[in-house]
Amino acid sequence: MHAPLRVTDNRSSIRVGAFDSLMESVRSCRHCAGLIPEPRPILRAHPEARLLIVGQAPGQAVHRSGIPWNDPSGETLRRWMSIDRAHFYDPTRVAILPAGFCYPGRSAHGDLPPRPECARLWKSPLLASLPALRFTLLLGRYAHLLYLPETRSRSLAETVREGSRWLPDYLPLPHPSPRNRLWLRRHSWFEADILPLLRNRLEALWREPAGPPARSGITPPNPLFMPTGVPET
Ligand code: SF4
């Protein structure tokens, strides 16, 4: 649950009410009822958040707990970020909006892709309500394609290796799932070259003053585009 907002004047009260109302609408969303095992949107956000984390969609464990990244993938992600749980789960620092907010169910090959309806219905209004975002971490192919559609013609490794070209606004990374351990072993440059970029960017981010940046680094996702099929990782 997000922490209470600081209310300083009438305009802030109006913004707080609108934000809370939007979050309540998202958490109540049942648009995919009948298409997924059980609609249960799992997300965190606060208008003061500076960092946005975009992953794939909740797995079964997160669906049950209701806590995003409360699983082995989250442990790996926090190690990559050099951040503890308290800071990771502080919504005034970190917003967590996966490509799909609900557990999508399983196929014979693993979890199904994130539902495309989330991006079409919710991403633009949510991003518009997060004016302090300065940096977006994109985890896995679905997140890359949703926010950086120009990466579609590149392999995951090419996109990740070229990650510095999207800094300081975005950094595309592989998904930290245990299923990707082999990929990580085969691409040793990731830990050696890319994780320092991530940690340096986060150190700079936490030093920046609170409030909206002079220039927003966030481009609303293409509402008409959502990847389908199973990505590389
Ligand atoms: S997957 Fe997204 S659009 Fe579908 S029910 Fe969940 S929140 Fe709503």
pLDDT of residue 15: 64
Taking only the tens place, the pLDDT of each residue in 66-101 is 999 999 999 999 999 999 999 999 999 999 999 999
- pTM higher than 0.85 for the full model? yes
pLDDT of residue 214: 65
C-beta neighbour count of 207 within 10 angstroms: 7
Ligand 1 centroid from CA 117, angstroms: 6
pLDDT of residue 16: 65
Closest-CA residue, ligand 1 atom 1, reads: 102
| Inter-residue contact 96 to 103 (CB < 8 Å) | no
pLDDT of 210 over the 50 cut: yes
Q: Would you say the CB of residue 41 lies under 6 angstroms from ligand 1?
A: yes
Distances (CA, A) of 176 to 55, 76, 196: 9, 6, 16
Ranges 13-22, 78-87, 182-191: which has the least confidence: 13-22
Ranges 76-80, 158-162, 164-168, 211-215: which has the least confidence: 211-215
Phi then psi for 96, rounded to 5 degrees? -125, 105
Question: Average pLDDT, stretch 206-227?
Answer: 60
pLDDT of residue 132: 96
Ordered by start, the domain boundaries in the chain are: 10-207
pLDDT of 14 over the 60 cut: no
Closest-CA residue, ligand 1 atom 4, reads: 32
CA–CA gap between residue 79 and residue 75 (Å, rounded)? 6
Q: Would you say the CB of residue 118 lies under 6 angstroms from ligand 1?
A: yes
Residue with more model confidence, 212 or 69? 69
- Measured torsion, CA atoms of residues 84, 6, 13, 92, in degrees rounded to the nearest 10: -10
Name the token pair of 128: 């518009």
Choose which CATH entry (3.30.360.10, 3.40.50.11900, 3.40.470.10, 3.20.20.70) describes domain 10-207.
3.40.470.10
C-beta neighbour count of 218 within 10 angstroms: 18
Q: Which of 121, 146, 226 to mutate to test the pocket of ligand 1 (most atoms within 8 A of CB)?
A: 121
